[in-house]
Amino acid sequence: MKKDHTSPAAFPQAEIGREMKGADCVVECLIREGVDVIFAYPGGASQELHQSLARTDKIRTILPRHEQGGSFAAEGYARATGKVGVCMATSGPGATNLVSAIADAFMDSIPMVAITGQVFSKYIGKMAFQETDFYGMTLPIVKHSYLVMDVKDLPRIFKEAFYLARSGRPGPVVIDIPKDVQQAKFQPVFPATVEFRSSYATATFKAPDDQLKQVLALIAEAKRPVLYAGGGIISAEAHADLKAFAEKTNVPVATTLMGVGGFPESHPLSMQWFGMHGAAYGNWAVDQCDLLLCFGARFDDRITGDTNKFATQAKIVHVDIDASEHNKNKRVTLPIVSDIKPALVRLNELAAAHKFVPPDTSAWHAQIATWKKDHPFRFEESKHIVPQEAVAALYELTKGDAIITTGVGQHQMWAAQFYRFNEPRRFISSLGLGAMGFGYPAAMGAKVACPDKQVIDIDGDGSFIMNIQELATCHIEKIAAKAMILNNQHLGMVVQWEDRFYGSVRGNTILGDETNVGGPDNLTGLYPDFVKIAEGFGVKGRRVHKKSELKAAIQEMLDHDGPFVLDIIVPYTEHVLPMIPAGKSVKDMILK
């Protein structure tokens, strides 16, 4: 017999609320889940929800100037805190404008709940005004999608949605609510816990001791071990456990871009991050290691290149909470299904209990030290401000104590190369999806989450302009998110590929006037004028192109008490190096 999930009897510890509208119930559910901010753009199908939000002072509703900006802001909030980010839009085009952020959260395992209004239930499937099948549309890019057809299901669905978003491997959940469901009155039953038909959703995955002892035994035998740490370390709040484990075993650590900050980059065992544009020494170490410990990562193609040529000499241990990732991209020696935090905690306990002694890997560490010395991230000095120099100056002036968001492109890689991260949740970037336009709205969300931190979007001119309208949001809402634009008048990363692989033929990659590209030597050709645009949104801006003015301009941005746009003019001829071409191996790495 089917269980009635809407009756008090179904949930013995449930709380019965007062009679209210469905929209009021949604707000009450959000409050119960600890939501303190929502990024929401209203429309006809979500108006009831906005009216309910207007009647509470427990949730701050921030109106973005585009639904995509609001959803990226919710991601920025989530990435900076680990809490579930929440965004909301109306039906049809409002909902579809959330798709990029939902896909981004899915690719990068970010906890997010996206709420959408939907047309009246009786019109669903009839191509009503502003109707889309958002439930069906988002199924491939969510942990779960809900279409709420009965108002009594709202409390249970919201409880489940937030649990699913934050538990296990985090990710996005969609809740699509028809307008008549929002308007319907009922007496809600708020469950105290979640209950699923399958126990898998609520299962706790902890590695058995025999597998963890195998890991320690493999380390004891290794001559050239490497620890490969991904975003799972940060999601699980396992960075301190990782550091303790690396120090106990004396294993050098290379992170993915998602894992940046999960291991302190100033630590002697750090090889920073590796992959397509990562540290040469990290890539060489992984290529030549005899044991690769992959913790909370997924063997993404930007890390591995040609998987048949990736870490060919290594025994591979893969600890991940998602069993579907095991042997998906790369065959491994020892797959372990576990949340990474309890696995690391237990590994440290077992190592201590058995008085684990690290093997003699002094020759391996000496080799890595030589690689580090001979092949650091570097750039050539120029009479102009080069983008790497601007990032290095920002790092110096902030003393590394800032949250950095990025758009997508060359600037994204330079931000990760030349700003050092010693703590998690300080590097916030769209990595699996690679969504341009992410940087500034993500900075907006991160600044709302962390108002006492400097939050700076290191962006490119192409990426920044995609969601430039969020300057208006920051001005009105008094959100002091800063933007440092590395303006080269081109789609820099695509131009780099054109230069390297397409004979420098420009295939629609020039953003300025093609007859007068501009740049550091010809400021009259620069387009658009970001300072004037910023001023039009009520935001202070400054352009700088002289090296002698760079640090003073950055300091002015940091000292300003509101949002700020710093437009730094840089050459378009710079390339991000090292570079492993797509689908190639470490043997094909380009160093200059």
Q: For residue 458, is pLDDT > 50? A: yes
CA angle 45, 47, 48 (to 5 degrees): 100
Cα-trace Rg, the chain: 25
CB neighbour burial string for 221-244, b if at least 16 within 10 angstroms, e if fewer: ebebbbbbbbbbbbbbebbebbbb
Q: Which tens digits make up the pLDDT trace of 390-440? A: 999 999 999 999 999 999 999 999 999 999 999 999 999 999 999 999 999
Q: Is 221 a catalytic residue?
A: no
Mean of pLDDT values over 333-356? 97
Q: Is 470 a catalytic residue?
A: no
Q: Which tens digits make up the pLDDT trace of 512-525? A: 876 656 567 777 77
Catalytic residue among 28, 33, 48, 67: 67
Q: For residue 1, is pLDDT > 50? A: no
Q: For residue 27, is pLDDT > 60? A: yes
Q: For residue 307, is pLDDT > 80? A: yes
Q: Extract the tokens encoding 81.
A: 């805190």
Percent of the chain with pLDDT over 90: 93
Report the alpha-carbon distance of residue 60 to residue 39 in Å, rounded.
9
- pLDDT class of 528 with cuts at 50, 70, 90: very high
Q: Which tens digits make up the pLDDT trace of 348-365? A: 999 999 999 999 999 999
Mean of pLDDT values over 299-325? 97
Report the alpha-carbon distance of residue 24 to residue 190 in Å, rounded.
13
- pLDDT class of 35 with cuts at 50, 70, 90: very high
Half-sphere exposure for 382 (CA within 13 Å, toward CB): 19
Q: For residue 452, is pLDDT > 50? A: yes
Catalytic residue among 3, 58, 122, 129: 129
Q: For residue 50, is pLDDT > 60? A: yes
Q: For residue 2, is pLDDT > 80? A: no
Q: For residue 570, is pLDDT > 90? A: yes
Report the alpha-carbon distance of residue 340 to residue 238 in Å, rounded.
7
Element (H or E) spanning 340, and its range?
A: helix 340-353
Contact 106/90 with Cβ under 8 angstroms?
A: no
Contact 429/460 with Cβ under 8 angstroms?
A: no
Residue ranges and CATH numbers for the domains of the chain are 13-191 (3.40.50.970), 209-374 (3.40.50.1220), 387-569 (3.40.50.970)
Amino acid at 278: G
Catalytic residue among 83, 143, 152, 179: 179
Q: Is 179 a catalytic residue?
A: yes
Q: For residue 8, is pLDDT > 60? A: no
Mean of pLDDT values over 80-94? 98
The CA dihedral of 167, 168, 170, 174, to the nearest 10 degrees, is -60
Contact 440/522 with Cβ under 8 angstroms?
A: no
Residue with tokens 């969601």: 467
Q: Is 129 a catalytic residue?
A: yes
Q: 518: Cβ–Cβ under 8 A, 6 or more apart, which residues?
A: 489, 512, 524, 525, 526, 527, 569
Catalytic residue among 493, 557, 579, 589: 493
| Lowest-confidence pick of 107-111, 202-206, 465-469, 530-534 | 202-206
CA angle 165, 121, 55 (to 5 degrees): 60
Mean of pLDDT values over 194-220? 91
Mean pLDDT of the chain: 96
Report the alpha-carbon distance of residue 592 to residue 379 in Å, rounded.
10
The residue length of the chain stands at 592
Catalytic residue among 47, 51, 130, 555: 130
Q: Extract the tokens encoding 74.
A: 């919710």
Q: For residue 9, is pLDDT > 60? A: no
Quick one: three-class SS letters along 197-241? CCHHHHCCCCCCHHHHHHHHHHHHHCCCEEEEECHHHHHCCCHHH
Residue with tokens 């290379």: 254
Q: Which tens digits make up the pLDDT trace of 491-516? A: 999 999 999 999 999 999 999 876 65
Taking the chain, what is the end-to-end CA distance rounded to the nearest angstrom? 68
Q: Is 67 a catalytic residue?
A: yes
Q: For residue 135, is pLDDT > 70? A: yes
